[in-house]
Structure 1
Amino acid sequence: MTELETLREAIRAELDSLWSDLNAARDAALRDRWSMRCDFLTERIKRLTALVGPTPWRDVELSLLEDGVYQRVHAELGVEAPVDMAAVAQARARLDQDRAQLR
């Protein structure tokens, strides 16, 4: 693996972590589910996305897809990052069904 490939891999891993961190920051935010921390993480996501392209939507938490956060971030960058919302809805239905069975 070349040094450039190693660097790209590291950036991709960091992007995965940043999307996860953004989801956690939204969950921790008060009232409107957005905070200065969310803004900070979003800016970091944008900087790294500009270098390596979008994180595949399947690697991002469902709530960020359902609420359009993932789509908005990429639209602001002018980057194509289509999401299969039918597949997102199916994944949510499966999660909800699994939770219901645990009760």
Structure 2
Amino acid sequence: MNARPQRTHKSGPRPPSLGSNLWTLLALLVLLGLSAGSALLRLGPFNTVANLGIAVIKALLVLTIFMRLKTDNALLRIVASVGFAWLAVMIALGLADVLTRTPLLPPW
């Protein structure tokens, strides 16, 4: 009667390798340098567009590699993509508010 219960693990997705994590870290550092360097350039309104594009790329790298959305189950990918889409809607609404305001002159 000394029967051990059998352990049945469901092996999940394999974690990213150390090399993959280091390449992702290097890419994030390069993108950080690009966004910091673009702040020193006078690009006008393109500066904001470039920095938002760099931020989106960095977020996608973190989502796919560090959060393992590339290899995880479909439900987690759906929830993360809906959250990312909601963030995009909120940014678009905030930009629409800022861009459609009329400047108020001081009363004096």
The structure whose Rg is larger is 2
Asked if Structure 1 and Structure 2 have the same fold, meaning a TM-score greater than 0.5 normalized by the shorter chain, the answer is no
| Greater helix proportion | 1
Give me the TM-score of the superposition, normalised by structure 2.
0.39
Task: State the TM-score, normalized to the length of structure 1.
Answer: 0.41
